[in-house]
Structure 1
Amino acid sequence: MNADADVLERHAEMLHAYARHLGAERGRSVHTRRAYLGDVRHLLAFAAGRGIEEIGDLRIGDLRAWLGSQADVGAARATLARRAASARTFLRWAEHTGRITSDPSLRLVAPKRHATLPGVLRQGEASEMLDLAAVRADDADPIHVRDRAVLELLYASGIRVGELAALDIDDVDLAQGVVRVMGKGAKERIVPFGAPAGRAIEGWLAVRSRLVGEHSGPAMFLGRRGRRVDARQVRSAVHELLSHLPDAPDLGPHGLRHSAATHLLEGGADLRMVQEILGHASLATTQIYTHVSVDRLRRSYEQAHPRA
């Protein structure tokens, strides 16, 4: 048995209990719970490598060394920030359940995450992408028809790929032009979409029955085997389509979300309205898109003004 496996076996009961705790917490996605549990396993293995077999023997210096070791091998700031949060959540739980007498993570400071400007399509590139999706959908292949609807809805609404994959048929109101989305933290919101997306969705619903299978249920978007579409399939569709546009950046579904937000602001939308559409808890998260728009404005000014 290797060292990591030995550590996991030694702490198996505690890890199972912590996994149950994470599963019972409202508002944490499956992805987040899986990441947090993986981070704890990583921490325990690191501690064992330093001769620490009981979590009660962990000190703040050990936690800092753990994060530092990951920074040394090039871990992204976002990863380090999440792992620090994972450690705090785990050790707070361990103290609450009596597994440790004091929480060494109270003074653990995560590295600050730098807000980076997201990559976006230009409005002309977005139109080219959707025009190409429409042309491909004309061959009546239900996957191409689905992909057109998926791309139109992602760009029109700015919803997350996971939110799109989770949609049921009843979540989309074609008459009102809105979609009901269950976002992060199990918060529901209503997001509008335009007529082009509505027509693409109608086209998809007309051929959806050709993919329906035993496990389709009420899922809005289906894969070839009749199951609910997943994020990987959506990412593949976006990347594949954009690969046919020589000047467009290689973006995934999140790039379409960034593009939708940026184009809304460039069109004069109120920042708080964009915040509501995107489902951001904080206005500060939405404000990054104003930087994208200002950056574009500056480039256009410098190209056009004689005294720029």
Structure 2
Amino acid sequence: MRLSAVIERYLAHLRDVRRLSPATVRAYRADLRDLADILDDPDIGEITREDLREWLWRVQQSGASRATLARRAASARGLFVWAVAAGDLSTDPAARLVTPKRGRTLPTVAPAEALAEMLADLGAAASQTGDPLALRDHAILELLYGAGIRVSELCGLDTDDVDRERRTVRVWGKGAKERVVPFGMPASAALEAWFVRARPVLLARQADRDRGRAALFLGARGARLGPRTVYDLVARTVGPLVGRPVGPHALRHSAATHLLDGGADLRSVQEILGHESLGTTQIYTHVSHERLTASYRLAHPRA
């Protein structure tokens, strides 16, 4: 069977069985199509480890970063593991494929005090003007930070996913895995203002109200909010706090780091973020250590 045919079956598995996001499936598709193109779409049983090394060498020669090399190698390993399990291969040519270790960079974290001040100012201004978009934006930022959720999870929320009494939100993470995450009083107050004062106004702008009726957050025309609006909002409000443009994940990074700074245990933070591996969550301990070291060097007379 041709490699390209196996790739399409694998992508269908990722989409329909593992329920990965469209963006993730597109990334796998790009990586694996590059593999098929470089190898001239051979029969999958003819591929050797040397073929895969040759492919990665060409990727490296094109100027790709170590992160890109690591991602493409991981995509190939996933494909061949699945192909063996599906019976398309008897041995896995990528089993011992070695790639350069991916460099780890610390995530961007907004200072807790500056973030709290920005959110308070934004909430006060929105409450005073009563502008529905301003009230919505404040609720979005408070929930992103208060619950540490991803932008895809936020945009997929329905009104029924929010328990306003218990102050929890049910989110569907990667691989359609469900988790329930708590949020605090500031996010609760912002959501109440959104539900009562703003959401009905935006919903009324939608000619077909069934399109936006279930969605928690709505766009200016009353339909379900898209991620582009959230990216623009975070870049405009959080970016100045860290001195460069950032996306919604900066609030997730900030939430995790501030939880650890406040004494939360690593396992609890892992559950809140929905990480499968504790190792993924441990990056935030490095952030906390870096911040602690920086504070020490600034403040201690013998530093």
CA displacement at 1:257 relative to structure 2: 0.7
CA displacement at 1:238 relative to structure 2: 0.4
Residue in 2 that maps onto 1:304: 299
- Give percent identity, aligned residues only: 52
Residue in 2 that maps onto 1:241: 237
TM-score (normalised: structure 1): 0.86
C-alpha contact 1:160 1:257 (8 A) present in aligned 2: yes
Q: 2:264 aligns with which of 269, 273, 281?
A: 269
Residue in 1 that maps onto 2:114: 125
Q: Counterparts of 1:181 and 1:23 in 2: how far apart (Å)?
A: 19
Q: 1:183 aligns with which of 143, 155, 173?
A: 173
CA displacement at 1:264 relative to structure 2: 1.1
Q: Counterparts of 1:292 and 1:170 in 2: how far apart (Å)?
A: 35
Residue in 2 that maps onto 1:4: none
C-alpha contact 1:168 1:219 (8 A) present in aligned 2: yes
2:147 matched to 1:157?
yes
| One-letter amino acid matched to 2:136 | R
Q: Counterparts of 2:33 and 2:166 in 1: how far apart (Å)?
A: 47
SS at match of 2:94: helix
Alignment map for 1:54-133 (pairs within 5 Å): 54-95=43-84, 99=88, 102-133=91-122
C-alpha contact 2:114 2:241 (8 A) present in aligned 1: no
Residue in 2 that maps onto 1:228: 224
Decide which moves more: 92-101 or 274-283: 92-101
Decide which moves more: 88-97 or 265-274: 88-97
| One-letter amino acid matched to 1:149 | A
Residue in 1 that maps onto 2:13: 21
Provide closer, same or farther for how the CA distance between residues 274 and 58 of structure 1 changes in structure 2, counting only shifts above 3 A: same
Residue in 2 that maps onto 1:210: 201
C-alpha contact 1:117 1:292 (8 A) present in aligned 2: yes
Q: Counterparts of 1:36 and 1:302 in 2: how far apart (Å)?
A: 43
Q: 1:199 aligns with which of 189, 196, 209?
A: 189
Q: Counterparts of 1:178 and 1:224 in 2: how far apart (Å)?
A: 26
SS at match of 2:95: helix
CA displacement at 1:101 relative to structure 2: 5.6
Provide closer, same or farther for how the CA distance between residues 185 and 19 of structure 1 changes in structure 2, counting only shifts above 3 A: closer
SS at match of 2:179: strand
* Paired positions, count: 295
Provide closer, same or farther for how the CA distance between residues 21 and 286 of structure 1 changes in structure 2, counting only shifts above 3 A: closer
Q: Counterparts of 2:13 and 2:289 in 1: how far apart (Å)?
A: 44
1:157-178 Cα distance to aligned partner (Å, 9 max, x none): 1111111111111111111111
Residue in 1 that maps onto 2:34: 42
| One-letter amino acid matched to 1:46 | I
C-alpha contact 2:3 2:43 (8 A) present in aligned 1: no
Residue in 1 that maps onto 2:129: 139
Q: 2:286 aligns with which of 280, 283, 291?
A: 291
Q: Counterparts of 1:19 and 1:290 in 2: how far apart (Å)?
A: 35
CA displacement at 1:224 relative to structure 2: 1.8
Provide closer, same or farther for how the CA distance between residues 80 and 237 of structure 1 changes in structure 2, counting only shifts above 3 A: same
Q: Which ranges in structure 2 are unaligned for 5 or more consecutive residues?
A: none
Provide closer, same or farther for how the CA distance between residues 16 and 93 of structure 1 changes in structure 2, counting only shifts above 3 A: same
| One-letter amino acid matched to 1:178 | T
Q: Counterparts of 1:187 and 1:94 in 2: how far apart (Å)?
A: 24
Provide closer, same or farther for how the CA distance between residues 111 and 306 of structure 1 changes in structure 2, counting only shifts above 3 A: same
| One-letter amino acid matched to 1:56 | G
Q: Which ranges in structure 1 are unaligned for 5 or more consecutive residues?
A: 1-9
Provide closer, same or farther for how the CA distance between residues 288 and 195 of structure 1 changes in structure 2, counting only shifts above 3 A: same
C-alpha contact 1:143 1:224 (8 A) present in aligned 2: yes
CA displacement at 1:190 relative to structure 2: 1.6
